[in-house]
C-alpha cells in the first residue's frame, strides 16, 4: 500500500511491529484506558530513529509527566510515503479489530497534498511504487481505486494505449499507469514567473536549510522535482495556483473529512495536528522555485504551510504548535524529520492542547 520503510543501519535489526505489521508497540489496552491513535507518515513511524524515540512513546510519557487523570495509551499506524489516502485505508483496517478514543492525524503539508493526488509516489517524471488511492468523482465524492492497473476495463486499456503513444513503447508498466492516471487529473496550468519577480540568489534544494541558518534572506530554490506536473513538495503553494493544485487541496481536505467521519462512526474524536519546526522558518524564505529541467521560475507563498487547513472547513479540528528553536529540532539540514528534542516538544505541546480542551477525562 505504498509503504516505504526508511531505517538507519543501526535499526535494520529492529523488527518490532504491532499487530498490523507496522513499526510500533503492541496494541494492548484495558477498558479504563484512554486510547490515542497517531496516524501519519515517516514522522510518526520514525524509522530513522531509535525505537524509544517514536512519537507514540513520547506522547504517552508526556501525559504521564503531566499527571493525566486517566491512564493514556498511545499507538500508531504510520509508514514513510503515506498520505491521507493510505492512512484512511489503514485507519479502517485498524478499527476492524481495535478501538480508539481519539485519533490524531500528523499532517505534513509539503508531502500530503501532492502525494494524495497520484497513483504512484515520486517527485520525478518517472513513476514510483503504485498504490491503492482515492480520487474525486464528478459529484465531489471519494472514489476508491484499489487496483491501479484495472486491466479489464476498456477505458483503462485505451488510456494505457495513449500513454504508450505519448511516452514510447519501452515505457514501464508503472509509467503507463502513471500517465493514464495523470490524464484524468485537472490541468497543471502553472504560470511561470519573470526573472525580475524572483530573488537572484539561487540555492539548491538540498542546501535550503543551510542557507537559512547562514542568515540568507529571500531565495530562489533550484529543484529537480517535476514542478510542471505538480509532483513536488512546493505544491500547492504556487502563485497563481494551478487547476491541478486546487484539485490536490480539495482531494486532501475531502480525505481528512472522511477520516473524521470514519472516526466519529466509532464514537471517537479526531484532530489534525501540525508542528511548525525549523523547516517552516527556512521555507518562509523561499520566494520562487526554479525547475532545474527547463529553467522555468515559479512564485510560491510558503509563509504558513498549515493555513490551507486552519482556514478551511476543517479549522475546528486543527491543532498547530510551534517547535522551532535555536537548538535544532530536526535531525540535520538534509533530514527534515524531527529529532528527539523536536518530538518531545511537539508531543508535549500536543498533550497540553488536548488536556486544555478536556479531551483526557
What is the structure's pLDDT at 284? Answer: 96
E strand intervals along the chain: 34-40, 72-78, 102-106, 133-136, 142-145, 202-204, 219-223, 238-239, 269-276, 286-291, 297-300, 318-322
What is the structure's pLDDT at 176? Answer: 83
The CATH number that applies at residue 244 is 3.40.50.1110
Residue 177 falls within a domain, yes or no? no
Structure confidence at residue 180 as a pLDDT band (50, 70, 90): confident
Q: Is the predicted pLDDT of residue 6 greater than 50, yes or no?
A: no
Q: What tens digit of pLDDT does each residue of 238-295 get?
A: 999 999 999 999 999 999 999 999 999 999 999 999 999 999 999 999 999 999 999 9
Q: Coil, strand, or helix at residue 274? A: strand
What is the structure's pLDDT at 283? Answer: 96
Residue 295 falls within a domain, yes or no? yes
Q: What tens digit of pLDDT does each residue of 144-171 get?
A: 987 655 543 445 555 555 555 565 656 7
What is the structure's pLDDT at 240? Answer: 97
Which range of residues forms the domain containing residue 242? 9-117+185-356
**With a threshold of 0.85, does the pTM exceed it?**
yes
Rounded Cα–Cα distance for residues 341 and 260 (Å) = 30
The pLDDT of 27-50, averaged and rounded, is 96
For 106, phi then psi, to 5°, come to -80, 110
Q: What percent of the chain has pLDDT over 70?
A: 89
Q: Is the predicted pLDDT of residue 7 greater than 70, yes or no?
A: no
Residue 232 falls within a domain, yes or no? yes
Residue 361 falls within a domain, yes or no? no
75-79, 151-155, 296-300: lowest mean pLDDT where? Answer: 151-155
Q: Is the predicted pLDDT of residue 11 greater than 70, yes or no?
A: no
Of 116, 99, 114, 104, give the one whose Cα is nearest residue 78: 104
The pLDDT of 19-32, averaged and rounded, is 96
Residue 290 falls within a domain, yes or no? yes
Contacts of 126-132 with CB under 8 Å at 24 or more apart are: 126/175, 127/172, 127/174, 127/175, 127/177, 127/178, 128/174, 129/2, 129/4, 129/81, 129/174, 130/2, 130/174, 130/177, 131/1, 131/2, 131/85, 131/86, 132/1, 132/2, 132/85, 132/86, 132/89
> Does residue 263 contact residue 215 with C-beta atoms inside 8 Å?
no
Q: What tens digit of pLDDT does each residue of 322-332 get?
A: 999 888 899 99
Rounded Cα–Cα distance for residues 175 and 197 (Å) = 35
Q: What tens digit of pLDDT does each residue of 342-357 get?
A: 999 999 999 999 999 9
User: What's the Cα-to-Cα distance from 254 to each of 134, 215, 248, 250, 312, rounded to whole Å?
Assistant: 10, 39, 10, 6, 11
The pLDDT of 23-51, averaged and rounded, is 96
75-79, 88-92, 311-315, 334-338: lowest mean pLDDT where? Answer: 334-338
Residue 123 falls within a domain, yes or no? no
The pLDDT of 81-98, averaged and rounded, is 97
Residue 342 falls within a domain, yes or no? yes
What is the structure's pLDDT at 211? Answer: 94
Residue 99 falls within a domain, yes or no? yes
Total domains present in the chain: 1
Amino acid at each position: 500500500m505504498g509503504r516505504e520503510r526508511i531505517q538507519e543501519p543501526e535499526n535494520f535489526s529492529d523488527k518490532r511491529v504491532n499487530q498490523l505489521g507496522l513499526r510500533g508497540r503492541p496494541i494492548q489496552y484495558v477498558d479504563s484506558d484512554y486510547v490515542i491513535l497517531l496516524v501519519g507518515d515517516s514522522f510518526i513511524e520514525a524509522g530513522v530513529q531509535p525505537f524509544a524515540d517514536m512519537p507514540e512513546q513520547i506522547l504517552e510519557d508526556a501525559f504521564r509527566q503531566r499527571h493525566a487523570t486517566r491512564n493514556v495509551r498511545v499507538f500508531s499506524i504510520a509508514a514513510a510515503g503515506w498520505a491521507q489516502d493510505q492512512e484512511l485505508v489503514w485507519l479502517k483496517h485498524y478499527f476492524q479489530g481495535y478501538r480508539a478514543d481519539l485519533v490524531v492525524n500528523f499532517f505534513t503539508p509539503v508531502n500530503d497534498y501532492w502525494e494524495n493526488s497520484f497513483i504512484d509516489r515520486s517527485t520525478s517524471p518517472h513513476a514510483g511504487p503504485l498504490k491503492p488511492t482515492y480520487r474525486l468523482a464528478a459529484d465531489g465524492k471519494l472514489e476508491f481505486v484499489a487496483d491501479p492497473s484495472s486491466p479489464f476495463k476498456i477505458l483503462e486499456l485505451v488510456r494505457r494505449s495513449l500513454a504508450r503513444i505519448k511516452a514510447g513503447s519501452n515505457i514501464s508498466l508503472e509509467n503507463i499507469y502513471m500517465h493514464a492516471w495523470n490524464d484524468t487529473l485537472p490541468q497543471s496550468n502553472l504560470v511561470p514567473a519573470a526573472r525580475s519577480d524572483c530573488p537572484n540568489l539561487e540555492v539548491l534544494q538540498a542546501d535550503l536549510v543551510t542557507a537559512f541558518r547562514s542568515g540568507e534572506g529571500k531565495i530562489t530554490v533550484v529543484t529537480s522535482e517535476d514542478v510542471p506536473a505538480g509532483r513536488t513538495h512546493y505544491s500547492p503553494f504556487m502563485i497563481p495556483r494551478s487547476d491541478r493544485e486546487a484539485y490536490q487541496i480539495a482531494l486532501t481536505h475531502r480525505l481528512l473529512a472522511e477520516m473524521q467521519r470514519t472516526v466519529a462512526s466509532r464514537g471517537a474524536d479526531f484532530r489534525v495536528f501540525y508542528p511548525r519546526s525549523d523547516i517552516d522558518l527556512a521555507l518562509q524564505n523561499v520566494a520562487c522555485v526554479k525547475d532545474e529541467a527547463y529553467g522555468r521560475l515559479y512564485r510560491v507563498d510558503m509563509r504558513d504551510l498549515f493555513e490551507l487547513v486552519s482556514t478551511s472547513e476543517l479549522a475546528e479540528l486543527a491543532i498547530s504548535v510551534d517547535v522551532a528553536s535555536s537548538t535544532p529540532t530536526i535531525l540535520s539540514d538534509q533530514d527534515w524529520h524531527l529529532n528527539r528534542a523536536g518530538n518531545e516538544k511537539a508531543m508535549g505541546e500536543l498533550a497540553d492542547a488536548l488536556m486544555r480542551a478536556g479531551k483526557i477525562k
